Structures are given as C-alpha cells and as structure tokens.
C-alpha cells in the first residue's frame, strides 16, 4: 500500500528562528497521526506547511491524489491545489470562526461546499446539508440559523460537517477540541472518532491534549524545538516514552 502522504525534509524558518526543521514521515490511508509537543515546539508550523497554508523553505509533500495521482503539494499549480482543497483535502481550525462563514446559515455553510464540487439541485443540497447537520448532532430546526447563534461546541460541529460533507480523504486538524469546555470536548471527540472511522479518513491532528491523541491517533510525532524527537504508535509512545522530554510531557510536567 502506498502512503497517502509522504513528507520529507519539511523545514520552515521565521528569520533566525526555526519553526520546524527537516521533518519527514509517511501517513497511510485510514491512519490518524497526532502531533504533540509543548507550546512553541513547531506543531502549527508543520501542520500549516502540510496543509498548504504556509510555504516551507525546503522539503516535499507527496500526496497520493485519487484524481491527480501522486503529486507534490508544494509544486502544484494554484488551480490544482484549489481543486484538491475542495475535494480531497480538508482543514478543521481550532477556532470555528476561521473555518465557517459566520454570515451564512448553518445549512448554507454545508451546502456551499457541495456547490463547490458541482452540486446544483437546491432540494438535494438542502437534504444533504440536513443529513450532515443530523450527523454532527445539530437539530434540524437550526438549519437556517447563523453560526453566531450557536454555542462553541455546536459551531465546531458545524465546521466539521462543512469540511466532511464533500468526502475528503485527508483531513488536517489544529486543536479541534481546544478552547471548549471539558464536557463538550469529550462529546466532540467521540463524534470525531466515529466520523473518522465510518469514513475511513486519514487525518493529521495537532493537539496539546494527550487525551485527544489517545482517543484519535494511531501514531504520534512528539515535537520539541521544531524537531521530531520521538515517534511511534500512540500507546507505545505514551505508555513507554523513551525520550526524557516525552516522559515529562506524559507526566504533564510540561505546559503543552
Ligand atoms: P506550536 O504550534 O507548537 O505552539 P508554532 O509552530 O506556533 O508552535 O511555533 C514554532 C516556533 O516558531 C516558535 O518558536 C514560535 O515562536 C515561532 N513562530 C511561529 N510563528 C511565527 C511567526 N509568524 N513569526 C515568527 N516566529 C514564529
Ligand atoms: Mg500552535
């Protein structure tokens, strides 16, 4: 089986400061990879490079596209990249406001993505939007409400519906449960886990919360000072961390 994503030598500096340095890994179809590490360790820099939101100074990111075959996300034309972003890739932001259109109804937020991949029949779009709202536990009678009228947890569930409705193959998530109440986080995490499994999604999840990787991630990368210092199966790394830094992280001594 070919990896769905093969990252090699991903490096990004901010002037003299290192964001992330020489990161490489393979992600296989249906796998969820967690990226953990204390604040400032380079998690977001790496994720944003992978997701095309930040241009790395060096490296390659091979994506095994269903439509375009294996392609380097860093050398695609803008049009090819946008096509992939609409169809095969998705990004769930920590702050739902960054991933939603706040001035558009909940149904519109979901339906818009369907139109982006060619759906035109209004009744079908509404029906599909409705079924996705249901899937993320948003009551049907909220379909015409704007996200600003929703709670934080509901906004995040809407962002997830908006991003998954087109059936992407690879989803990037940056602290998907960050900034929510603990009880809301647990429910969202359950929902995410169910969707990832049902849809057979491949995903890369950045989180400071080891409970999130425990539940979602098959494998993890532990980052420190822009580098990966430990990598492996989630249970192995968390139950038997080899690197002293990972041991501190697991013992919650470090402020993640
Ligand atoms: P994390 O997501 O793990 O908290 P980041 O990727 O945000 O880490 O940051 C990694 C390093 O890069 C840190 O030293 C941070 O200060 C630096 N950094 C991140 N973004 C910028 C930026 N826009 N300008 C300058 N330095 C940055
Ligand atoms: Mg970050």
What's the average model confidence in pLDDT over 137-149? 98
Distances (CA, A) of 102 to 11, 174, 214: 34, 19, 32
Tell me how far the alpha carbon of residue 18 lies from the centroid of ligand 2, in angstroms. 14
The number of the ligand 1 atom at minimal distance from the alpha carbon of 15 is 25
Q: Is 91 part of any domain?
A: yes
Domain count, the chain: 1
In a domain, 109, yes or no: no
Please report whether residue 117 resides in a domain. no
Helix, coil or strand: residue 83: helix
* Pocket perturbation via mutation, ligand 1, pick of 43, 44, 45 by most ligand atoms within 8 A of CB: 45
**Is 70 within the bounds of a domain?**
yes
Mean pLDDT of the chain: 95
Domain membership flag for residue 221: yes
Three-state secondary structure of 146-174: CHHHCCHHHHHHHHHHHHHCCCCCEEEEE
pLDDT in tens, 68-111: 999 999 999 999 999 999 999 999 999 999 999 999 999 999 99
pLDDT value for 254:
65
Q: Is residue 235 part of a domain?
A: yes
**pTM (2 decimals)?**
0.95
Contact predicate 195/160, CB 8 Å: yes
Q: What is the pLDDT of residue 256?
A: 57
Q: Span 185-207, mean pLDDT?
A: 96
Mean pLDDT, residues 214-236: 97
Note down the domain range covering 67: 5-104+170-255
39 Cα–ligand 2 center, Å: 7
134 within some domain: no
CATH code, 207? 3.40.50.300
Closest to 53 measured CA to CA, from 4, 30, 19: 19
In the reported structure, the alpha carbon of residue 40 is separated from the centroid of ligand 2 by a whole-number distance in angstroms of 7
Ligand 1 atom closest to residue 20's alpha carbon, by position in its atom list:
10
Query: Mind giving me the DSSP string for 87-113?
Result: HTEEEE-SSHHHHS-TTS-HHHHHHHH
Domain assignment present for residue 154? The answer is: no
């Amino acid at each position: 089986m070919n990896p769905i994503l093969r990252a090699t030598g991903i490096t990004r500096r901010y002037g003299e400061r290192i964001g992330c340095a020489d990161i490489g890994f393979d992600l296989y179809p249906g796998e969820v990879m967690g990226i953990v590490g204390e604040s400032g360790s380079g998690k977001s820099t790496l994720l944003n490079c992978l997701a095309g939101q930040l241009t790395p100074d060096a490296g390659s990111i091979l994506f095994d596209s269903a439509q375009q075959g294996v392609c380097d996300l860093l050398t695609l034309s803008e049009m090819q990249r946008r096509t992939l972003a609409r169809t095969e890739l998705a990004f769930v932001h920590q702050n739902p406001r960054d991933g939603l259109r706040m001035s558009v109804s909940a149904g519109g937020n979901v339906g818009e993505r369907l139109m982006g991949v060619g759906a035109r029949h209004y009744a079908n779009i509404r029906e599909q939007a409705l079924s996705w709202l249901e899937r993320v536990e948003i009551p049907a009678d909220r379909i015409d409400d704007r996200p600003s009228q929703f709670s934080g947890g509901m906004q995040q569930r809407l962002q997830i519906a908006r991003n998954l409705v087109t059936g992407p193959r690879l989803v990037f998530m940056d602290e998907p449960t960050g900034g929510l109440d603990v009880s809301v986080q647990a429910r969202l995490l359950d929902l995410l886990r169910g969707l990832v499994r049902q849809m057979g999604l491949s995903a890369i999840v950045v989180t400071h919360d080891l409970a999130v990787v425990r539940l979602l991630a098959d494998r993890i990368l532990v980052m420190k000072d822009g580098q990966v210092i430990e990598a492996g199966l989630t249970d192995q790394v968390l139950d038997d961390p080899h690197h002293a830094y990972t041991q501190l992280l697991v013992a919650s001594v470090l402020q993640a």
